[in-house]
Chains A and B, each alone.
Chain A
């Protein structure tokens, strides 16, 4: 059956190819207008017939070298939801009215079939708008006229920009499928760019030598003015994709952007024949060096003077590092902005507010003032996506935290995180590849596994006249404590939390106590009595003694999985339950003890139950030992959670003695 579907798909694939490949701009064919469904994906609300991007380098007297990025898109609207694509917007940067990026040639046409005739409607200037976002960013918006289900819509525009280090990236994959897409760039040898390709879809790529001519004005290194026609060798890259499926998000994914098929560029160096070689980024070592040389990064690592009155060198112990972290956090709070570089350390100290880097750099300086070896660790935060390791790039970095060496060990912290501590990091900085900028010892570090979410619930269960009574102690450590503190903070007060907890645990909460919830680093300890209604006296008692069920449903419901599964953090979770069997009852039946393992102990689940005397003991363990699991074993992953969910609702059966 499955095979048959596949064959059918392949057949349509070929047909689609013949009909639609390389759809031309400037008109729509009857086949395109008559198309009602995209056979490879009948759910598609629209299909992009053609998406073509082109980047050219040009020279003009006023601005010097610029790039021109031209985008042409032609699409077919198949369902009303697809009409959203007829409202387009994109952002660009303008320093002032005269300086910055320019948009030219924005035009579009909608094609409709009316009474067998093709009717064209052009995009009018009345429906093209510019809006100012904050600072110098602008958004260009337009809405395609006369678009409806069945329309073929095309538009194009060119962005001209002097920001050669900000070449537009090009995505070969979008929220709807694409029949044909190509990107071409001709890069003169003046520039050396890293070309970063990523994604799951295959492209046909070609690189061939080419040649470009410019008429340039320049001053040489001696200050002499020249005007000449130059010819330069160039590389022409062409990338073509056909029948690229739509990209869809999935649960348990750190950043969907990691999986989009796209190409991006990082400028490494500039070499004009009339000027000296200018290197930007070539290796990660070079990235380190450039960061350290930059005033806003390296310059901000030499400000230990800010703490000369507050911190003295009293030895380098972990306790002291904890103390200094506490001191810095008490002086400066996070303003919710994430950043690779500080804004202004002095201002941050003065106003008591700063961006993430302000606080982390202040911590590094404070630690240095205390005689520690402390340094920044830079990364692309989890939500932004992975660093392209093979292609060193400053622009891919967006975040920095602090590291400190004590004896032979290294500890990490994100001082912007209110409840973070040494080796307890918020999710945004739990990345697999971060770069520790530690002079000549700079290196990669995997932060994602530096910390664990540890939870341990111990409960003793007995039966009273009112029902099942569980005396619960719940201890959360490290990542589990960090998450809980952030969650608990959102409640108005303790009673609002306990009301919520009672509803979640389906019982009533009494004698609730909490500690450690408000300080970073400490474990959170909860203790309470949970009462669940139930009646003693029946011939049989059926009950589930677990305090909570971490999963009441399988978290993986989709039938298939396209991308790897990412968990938040390493996890070590347990419940230890001891049940006292009420007098007059005996154990009739117990659930089976079970152990479920996924892969090579990447996930483990254990449910062990035993009765002895008038007690039943349950040990319930759940561990995540690896954060990334591969989609190939998705079915086993579903089975793992199915077993776990089922076992978590297992019931104990007691019977009245003698009945």
Chain B
């Protein structure tokens, strides 16, 4: 089997040489040759992806790619575009492209000069990046794009090109191969996910690693699916020893990774003497380490802001603290390092930590540059360690926010890096409580008050509105929580608990006409006027992937309704109690002499559930949704 594999690769290689020598084939890649199994659920088909990476020394490499993609319909259009991002470390040395029609005839040839170049960075101040792209739109489908290009890598190689046979959902693959050739002195590290094999072939001068994949059917996107990293096969590869802009290191383990990052931080922690004196002054009367850290953190929040600058090695190395102390802005690395420097100045040791906001777990055995995208600070303090998010001016001190809670972080120190885990919350802690006291009148109007308290997620989404003092935004927020038509709102009172377990509270008196629908002598009153997180995202009949609920929560509603004079309850919806492994739904109502007391709790549990449970989860969600739509019926006596 393996031998057979190799032959194919060699054949392919010969084929490429042939193509290069004699120019593009007049007719190639007709759509009719695509197998039906690869057309199913597909917007695009990778006909051929052939990547060849040849490293000549620790700093340099040539990366050649041939990519042929057939676009079957409009939804797949974006996959027919060419994009390349260059910087100090990478340039596009050659490029050519061909567009073919459904039969495989050439309809257009594209030269390097046809590419559009832009240095615009959307959100940052500066990146040093050059984007080169070609956007192709076709009058008809299907069509095929064929791109052949070569990149020059220089000034350092942190990772080799990752091998992803798929580029995304709704795409099938006829054939995809990669070949990484490294000098024999280089040790290649790899991480393999999914059903992919890696071949290794040694000669005296070099080692060639290769992998290949073919006839992969398209994968459909599904709501509540695991992240694409857990669905699509891939091989990540990187050199063990590397240099980057003359900073050399070794990545055999996270400890060594830490040494390299530490090297980038060296000498970046100087501060002006005046600031040091000011910090000493500010913290002199603080009794505990925590108090001191809080004082400095407060100073940092009030005096800095986030501005992204990623020039040169700036994607990995922070702006030095001295500069940040002057300009008072930087990105996550610069602000975290600035905080580190300020704490150091008052003799409080802390650690710069590298973290991923997207993936909870870092690969323990494969230290890499692919996962992490953020930096925070750890202040070790015995049993009272403090994690600091330095890239936000308004989050509470010591609050481990939802994008990092429970995530792994690499804690950087002089002795290297070590993986630590941030504290996490329970689903019960991620809660919202709403209380409504309502009085309904005989015309269906309502008056009363509502109050809500939100923690964690809800806090993060609402606290800036609460702090804004902007009535327009607050009214919008109230309407978002309580969707009643034309509410007349009184004074909206808000308060924030900006602790390490933060919450936001709001209360407001209101009245509204047409709250209850009226039919003759009857009034129909919605039981739960509070808007709930939508749970009707699962619409498909069948399921391919497991179901992942990444953020569970608890939502409770308490409503008391004073009934209008002369009315009696004709129908009170039945109490419900559904207990599943995905969560619990409970609602109860009680008629207490002219007053209805209704309570409702939705608990959704974080977890990954086997796809065989799909129908059960869907039904649980549907039952909740229809229960929430129920009304109680009053009848005039």
Contact = CB atoms under 8 A, between A and B. Distances in A.
Interface of A: 42-43, 45, 79-81, 83, 86-87, 121, 124, 127, 129, 131-134, 139, 141-143, 145-149, 248, 332-333, 335-336, 351-353, 489-490, 492, 495-496, 499-500, 502-503, 506, 533, 540, 542, 552-554, 557-559, 588-592, 638-639, 641-643, 645-647, 649-653
A376 B393 CA distance: 54
B302 A643 contact: no
A351 B138 CA distance: 8
A171 to B, nearest CB: 21
Given A145-B329, A642-B485, A353 B469 contact: no
Given A43-B469, A653-B520, A129 B126 contact: yes
B472 A646 contact: no
B393 A80 contact: yes
B126 to A, nearest CB: 4
A247 to B, nearest CB: 13
Contacts of B204: none
B518 interface: yes
A643 B486 CA distance: 10
Contact of B539 (A134, A143, A502): A502
A262 to B, nearest CB: 22
Interface string B562-573: 000000001100
A351 B107 CA distance: 8
B472 A145 contact: no
B517 A651 contact: yes
Contacts of B125: 87, 127, 129, 141-143
Contacts of A649: 517, 524
A585 to B, nearest CB: 15
A514 to B, nearest CB: 17
30 contacts: A43-B473, A79-B467, A80-B393, A80-B394, A87-B307, A121-B327, A131-B121, A132-B118, A132-B119, A142-B125, A147-B305, A149-B302, A333-B138, A333-B139, A351-B139, A352-B139, A492-B41, A492-B220, A506-B629, A533-B626, A542-B633, A552-B483, A554-B485, A590-B520, A642-B514, A649-B524, A650-B518, A651-B519, A651-B524, A651-B633
A332 B326 contact: no
B303 A558 contact: no
Contact of B470 (A43, A80, A589, A641): A43
A333 B143 CA distance: 14
Contacts of B444: 646
Contacts of B117: 132
Complex A-B, nearest 7 residue pairs according to Cβ-Cβ distance, in ascending order:
A352-B139, A43-B470, A589-B520, A646-B514, A499-B539, A145-B327, A333-B139
A146 B539 contact: no
B580 to A, nearest CB: 19
A499 B540 CA distance: 6
B138 A353 contact: yes
A138 to B, nearest CB: 9
Given A81-B468, A649-B524, 4 more contacts: A145-B326, A558-B476, A591-B520, A643-B514
A559 B478 CA distance: 12
Contacts of B302: 148-149
Nearest to A43: B470
Contacts of A641: 485-486
A143 B326 CA distance: 13
A336 B479 CA distance: 36
Contacts of A652: 519
Contacts of B519: 589-592, 650-653
Nearest to B480: A557
In the complex, which of the residues B126, B139, B473, B476 has the most CB atoms of chain A within 10 Å of its own CB atom? B139
Contact of A132 (B120, B307, B518): B120
A642 B513 contact: yes
A503 B629 CA distance: 13
Interface string B603-637: 00000000000000000000001100101010000
Nearest to B325: A146
B328 interface: yes
Nearest to B43: A492
B137 A42 contact: no
B464 interface: yes
A588 B631 CA distance: 18
B489 interface: yes
Nearest to B539: A499
B140 interface: yes
Contacts of B541: 495, 499
B458 to A, nearest CB: 20
Contacts of B139: 332-333, 351-353
B471 interface: yes
A141 B126 contact: yes
B496 interface: no
A116 to B, nearest CB: 14
Contact of B328 (A142, A146, A332): A146
Given A87-B307, A141-B125, A554-B486, A352 B471 contact: no
Given A332-B139, A642-B485, A652-B519, A557 B475 contact: yes
B588 to A, nearest CB: 21
Contacts of B486: 554, 638-639, 641-642
A86 B307 CA distance: 10
Contacts of A147: 305, 328-329
Contacts of B522: 589, 651, 653
Contacts of B75: 490, 492
Contacts of A79: 467-468
A148 B541 CA distance: 53
Nearest to A146: B328
Nearest to B571: A540
B116 A134 contact: yes
In the complex, which of the residues B126, B304, B444, B486 has the most CB atoms of chain A within 10 Å of its own CB atom? B486
B389 to A, nearest CB: 14
Contacts of B415: none
In the complex, which of the residues A134, A333, A646, A650 has the most CB atoms of chain B within 10 Å of its own CB atom? A646
A131 B470 CA distance: 35
B476 A557 contact: yes
Interface in B390-410: 393-394
Given A80-B394, A646-B444, A652-B519, A139 B327 contact: no
Interface string B282-317: 000000000000000000001111010100000000
B7 interface: no
Contacts of A132: 117-120
A530 to B, nearest CB: 14
A336 B483 CA distance: 37
Contacts of A500: 539
Contacts of B467: 79
A554 B139 CA distance: 41
B452 to A, nearest CB: 17
Contacts of B227: none
A42 B326 contact: no
Contacts of B304: 148
B312 to A, nearest CB: 13
Contacts of B220: 492
Contact of A591 (B41, B470, B518): B518
B85 interface: no
